[in-house]
Amino acid sequence: MEQTNTQSIVSLTLGILSIMVPGLGILLGIGGIITANMSMKQIDITEESGKGLAISGMICSIVGIIVQGFSIIIWIFFFGLAFLGA
């Protein structure tokens, strides 16, 4: 049985957390993208398993950054309306 790359598991975990955790999601997503890139390079060198986990972590991280970005834009919009008295 091949050993799964640890960083690919970390990247998937960070990617999922970037979707779920408000506020810190952008930072978690950036960390997920970085660890996914590092794990894919390691997997190419060491031929460990876990490339699918790294790709899934990358996708979840990107989705998390987009979701968190939209939520920040929505918060700014609604607070802007509230302060303008609209």
Give backbone dihedrals phi and psi of 15, rounded to 5 degrees, phi first. -65, -45
Token pair for residue 79? 């607070």
pLDDT digits (tens, 9 = 90+) for 54-75: 999 999 999 999 999 999 999 9
- For the chain, the structural domain boundaries read 6-84
pLDDT digits (tens, 9 = 90+) for 8-51: 999 999 999 999 998 899 999 999 999 999 999 999 999 999 99
Contact 2, 52 (CB under 8 A): no
pLDDT band at 86 (very low <50, low <70, confident <90, very high): low
